[in-house]
Amino acid sequence: MTLHIPVDYLTASIADGVLRPGDPWYTEGATTMTGEGSPDLVVRPRTTHEVATAVRFARGHRLPLTVRAGGHSIAGLSTVDRGLLLDLRRLDDVAVDPGTRRVRVGGGATWGTVARALQPHGLGLTAGDTASVGVGGLTLGGGIGWMVRRHGLAVDNLVGAQVVTAAGEVLETSADAHPDLFWALRGGGGGLGVVTRFDFRAEPVDDVLFGTVTFALEDPLTLLTAWRDHQRAAADRLTTVLNLLPPMEGRPAVAMLGLCLVGEREGAGLDPLLALGTVLRSDVAVRPYADVLAEGHHAPGGRPTMRNTFLPELDDAALAHVARLTEGGATVVSLRALGGALARVPADATAFAHRSAETLVTAISLAGDTVGSACAWADLAARGTGSYVNFLSVAGEHADAVAYPARTRQRLEQVRERYAAAGLSRAGVLP
């Protein structure tokens, strides 16, 4: 589709940051990890002022507006086939004040950039597990990472955010300024304006004990039970993720236990964990936290079917459903231990409400659902309290309905109406 509106004003206001189909960098801007879009314009602002200019331009010309930061949206929310795509990746400054531990992060930065900037100061921020994931999308959904039990969610360490509203107005938000919007930004999943700066409070983080132990997956239920029992007694400074992988490329099914121990290593009681089954490989070692974040290697355009549920209790019946999920041979199942600092924040303090969950279970179907895996998932999800918005491969009303309890959803709607009257929808699109 050819755009029939003049863009001279925009090109004059945002130097070398307005791209049309055929321009160098256009395709790179329009392609995310999960999709290749064809927007009418890709706009790459460098400042908050340029973001506000682009938002007002889109609004003035009734152009749908989509926001992109790290481009890792599993639901494919950050590219489109029409309208204006706001690519925030040039807003990637990270400014650290070691005295106050305040960290100001541009709305388009990635977690790898943040971790590298904090490392020399002996600081860290609990975030995701992948360096190339954006601070924007991950934080707006909550942010579950390798230090979640010790330091909570990414949003639990957020102390302020600068937002360009759908009307192009610049707001500073915090617990004291526009507190309703600040509440909604912490887990509401986006669609509340463009966040041009996130202000976090970092924690002192020394080297961590981190790595993966790969076990033969001979008896899933026994292994799952032993992991659950160990995690229930573990200190908050230990966070683990147990991945159960089906047979693939000639190798049998395996269980991969990822672990991150922050702080004191003495008395962490890891031995039973390291002996959950027959060990095939292990790379557990002491390393800087910045080295822990994986480099993501994902072919653009690949979009797995991903579901998840927060379980308030990983009881024996739930474990039996998880074990059944592994039987079809085409599902990767992942269990994240929660609790600790995440659970100490009241459920209504932020828009992320799943505070009392013991575990987050995620299932990725590699070859579509078998009847058996679909039934096992339904049985498991019936015991859950809802889903993590950032791990859903679908978006829209159905996703919001499973991700947010009714009271949270209602509050989010009120905030959206207040700040985005004609506004940004969940996917960041102006009508």
Ligand X SMILES: Cc1cc2nc3c(=O)[nH]c(=O)nc-3n(C[C@H](O)[C@H](O)[C@H](O)COP(=O)(O)OP(=O)(O)OC[C@H]3O[C@@H](n4cnc5c(N)ncnc54)[C@H](O)[C@@H]3O)c2cc1C
Interacting residues with ligand X (CB under 6 A): 32-33, 67-74, 77-78, 88, 107, 128-130, 133-134, 136-138, 140-141, 143-145, 190, 194-195, 296, 390, 427-428
Nearest CB to ligand X, comparing residues 37 and 277: 37
36, two tokens: 């290749």
| 373-380: long-range contacts, CB 8 A cutoff, minimum separation 24 | 373/324, 373/325, 373/327, 373/328, 373/330, 373/331, 375/324, 376/321, 376/322, 376/324, 376/325, 376/327, 377/307, 377/325, 379/321, 379/324, 380/309, 380/311, 380/318, 380/321, 380/322, 380/325
User: Shortest gap between Cβ of 56 and ligand X (angstroms)?
Assistant: 16
User: Shortest gap between Cβ of 249 and ligand X (angstroms)?
Assistant: 20
Report the distance separating Cα 340 and Cα 352, nearest Å: 15
Q: Give φ, ψ of 349 to 5 degrees.
A: -75, -25
Contact 362, 308 (CB under 8 A): yes
Nearest CB to ligand X, comparing residues 51 and 255: 51
Nearest CB to ligand X, comparing residues 138 and 284: 138
Nearest CB to ligand X, comparing residues 53 and 390: 390
Nearest CB to ligand X, comparing residues 70 and 277: 70
Report the distance separating Cα 125 and Cα 147, nearest Å: 8
DSSP 223-276: HHHHHHHHHHHS-TTEEEEEEEE--BTTB--EEEEEEEE-S--TT---HHHHTS
Report the distance separating Cα 143 and Cα 186, nearest Å: 9
Nearest CB to ligand X, comparing residues 70 and 384: 70
User: Shortest gap between Cβ of 100 and ligand X (angstroms)?
Assistant: 23
User: Shortest gap between Cβ of 236 and ligand X (angstroms)?
Assistant: 18
User: Shortest gap between Cβ of 46 and ligand X (angstroms)?
Assistant: 14
User: Shortest gap between Cβ of 33 and ligand X (angstroms)?
Assistant: 6
**387-409 core/surface letters (b: 16 or more CB in 10 A; e: else):** bbbbbbbebeeebbebbbeeebb
User: Shortest gap between Cβ of 184 and ligand X (angstroms)?
Assistant: 12
User: Shortest gap between Cβ of 170 and ligand X (angstroms)?
Assistant: 13
User: Shortest gap between Cβ of 186 and ligand X (angstroms)?
Assistant: 13
- The H-assigned helical ranges of 105-242 are 111-118, 135-141, 148-151, 179-185, 220-233
Nearest CB to ligand X, comparing residues 17 and 128: 128
Nearest CB to ligand X, comparing residues 134 and 340: 134
The CA-atom distances, in angstroms, between 134 and each of 66, 171, 340 are: 15, 21, 25
103, two tokens: 């960290």
Furthest CA-CA distance within the chain: 67
Nearest CB to ligand X, comparing residues 84 and 323: 84
Angle at 76 between CA 350 and CA 337, to 5 degrees: 45
The enclosing H or E element of 413 equals helix 406-419
User: Shortest gap between Cβ of 254 and ligand X (angstroms)?
Assistant: 20
431, two tokens: 């009508």
Contact 165, 58 (CB under 8 A): no
Nearest CB to ligand X, comparing residues 137 and 423: 137
